Amino acid sequence: MSPVRVLYLAGSGRSGSTLVTTVLGQLPGFFAAGELRYLWRRGLVENRPCGCGSPVADCPLWARVRADLPDVEPAEIAGRLAQRLRLRGLPALLRRQRRGQPPVADHPDDTHLTRLYAAIAEHALAGRSDGVIVDSSKLPPYGALLGSLPGIDLYVLHVVRDPRATAYSWRRRRPLDGRADDQLMSRPPVGKAALLWLVWNTATVRLWGGRRAPGRYLRVRYEDFVADPAGTTARIAGFVGVTPDALPFPSPATVRLTPTHSVAGNPSRHRTGLVDVVADTEWLTGLPTRAYAVVTGLTAVALTRFGYPLRRPAATSPARDPAVSPSPATRQEG
Ligand SMILES: [Zn+2]
């Protein structure tokens, strides 16, 4: 069987990867799987909502995938996976990679992970050889793990967003699965959010950037994606070798979203219908001066590398929140 093509969105949290994943999932041959590293815990154990609205256990697609994994205990896989992906393991992982060794050691669970992606390709992409699974798990060590699996053909899309914007986004309280959910998304203090941004984005560059993974690494800034959604989407599709016949943009700043079957991720993955793609610039005026200085100071070198200014840019348009909002011209569908 040929390996399964996986487009892995790597980087830090709150970088707009949910929007990018949902948009890519509208393209023929692309399956927006969401954050698959959470499938075991949040999907199969906690039975949280799929992108289609059904709890994962009731979603016909994930039921077919689950049936292909009869001998796995999701809670155990989730526990072991979390152990393998701990932050403290990152230095050793990068050290092995620097020495030219496989960055991730083999593990008995790898056969289950390989079977999971093969089952998704089979049921969500009808086994089409040019199909692409979009996995927005983001955590670089999990991407490195996927890259080590023989059944996976990995492409890394590094989505970067201004860390002052992500720090501002982290400050907002947001239920994990929409308003009815009493479990909140994690909300680290601003300094910790900045350091995590730095660690994950630097690790992503170290693992795949430069000449480390020729033809397998593409960096896209969230700000550039919202400035030109259609052009950026076409560029990402081209990166994985696909020329889409049609793109889901009725106008330059509007996207038509149909439900996906994505698991985990930002609650905005449940948004469907005609949706405006607008830059979320509330942080420009909303992030306090001290927090701005803390984040800028901690991330200065990387800011310059990714082309962000150190000084606070002037807010040029009215602040809009969230990053995607229902189009005023058309009502949300479904
Ligand atoms: Zn579903």
Confidence class for position 177, pLDDT limits 50, 70, 90:
low
Which token pair is 321?
């929140």
Q: What pLDDT does residue 173 have?
A: 63
Q: Is residue 281 part of a domain?
A: yes
The percent of residues in the chain predicted with pLDDT above 90, rounded, is: 80
The answer to whether residue 196 scores a pLDDT higher than 60 is yes
- What is the rounded end-to-end Cα distance, in angstroms, of the chain? 37
State in Å: Cα 311 to ligand 1 middle: 43
State in Å: Cα 49 to ligand 1 middle: 8
Q: What is the pLDDT averaged over residues 90-118?
A: 96
The predicted model scores a pTM of 0.91
206 Cβ contact partners less than 8 Å away, ≥ 6 residues apart: 94, 97, 212
State in Å: Cα 38 to ligand 1 middle: 15
Over the stretch 59-83, which tens digit does the pLDDT of each residue have? Answer: 999 999 999 999 899 999 999 999 9
In which domain, by residue range, is 132 found? 4-326
Q: What is the pLDDT averaged over residues 276-301?
A: 94
Q: What pLDDT does residue 319 have?
A: 44
Over the stretch 1-42, which tens digit does the pLDDT of each residue have? Answer: 789 999 999 999 889 999 999 999 999 999 999 999 999 999
**Dihedral angle over CA of 297, 302, 305, 307, nearest 10:** -60
Average pLDDT score over the chain:
90
State in Å: Cα 268 to ligand 1 middle: 15
Q: Is residue 80 part of a domain?
A: yes
State in Å: Cα 152 to ligand 1 middle: 23
Q: Is residue 334 part of a domain?
A: no
Q: What pLDDT does residue 314 have?
A: 81
Q: What is the pLDDT averaged over residues 106-126?
A: 96
State in Å: Cα 58 to ligand 1 middle: 8
Q: What pLDDT does residue 332 have?
A: 31
**CA 45 to CA 194: how far, in whole Å?**
31
State in Å: Cα 267 to ligand 1 middle: 14
Q: What pLDDT does residue 172 have?
A: 76
Q: What is the pLDDT averaged over residues 76-105?
A: 95
Number of C-beta neighbours around residue 70 at 10 A: 6
Over the stretch 244-259, which tens digit does the pLDDT of each residue have? Answer: 989 999 999 999 999 9
State in Å: Cα 68 to ligand 1 middle: 16
State in Å: Cα 132 to ligand 1 middle: 17
State in Å: Cα 63 to ligand 1 middle: 9
State in Å: Cα 57 to ligand 1 middle: 9
Between 117 and 245, the higher pLDDT residue: 117
State in Å: Cα 288 to ligand 1 middle: 39
Reduce the DSSP state of residue 47 to 3 states and report it: coil
Q: What pLDDT does residue 274 have?
A: 95
Q: What pLDDT does residue 144 have?
A: 97
**Per-position DSSP letters for 69-125, written without gaps between them:** -TT--HHHHHHHHHHHT-GGGHHHHHHHHHTTS-SS---TTHHHHHHHHHHHHHHHS
State in Å: Cα 29 to ligand 1 middle: 17
State in Å: Cα 56 to ligand 1 middle: 6
Angle, helices 140-148/74-84, rounded to nearest 10 degrees: 110
Confidence class for position 322, pLDDT limits 50, 70, 90:
very low
Q: Is residue 65 part of a domain?
A: yes
> How many domains are contained in the chain?
1
Q: Is residue 262 part of a domain?
A: yes
Confidence class for position 265, pLDDT limits 50, 70, 90:
confident
Q: What is the pLDDT averaged over residues 181-199?
A: 81
> What is the distance of C-alpha 63 from the center of its chain?
23
Q: Is residue 69 part of a domain?
A: yes
Question: Nearest CA to 226 among 265, 255, 184, 196?
Answer: 255
Confidence class for position 170, pLDDT limits 50, 70, 90:
confident
**Structural contact between residues 163 and 200, judged by C-beta atoms closer than 8 angstroms:** no
What CATH number does the domain containing 152 carry? 3.40.50.300
Q: Is residue 85 part of a domain?
A: yes
Number of C-beta neighbours around residue 121 at 10 A: 26
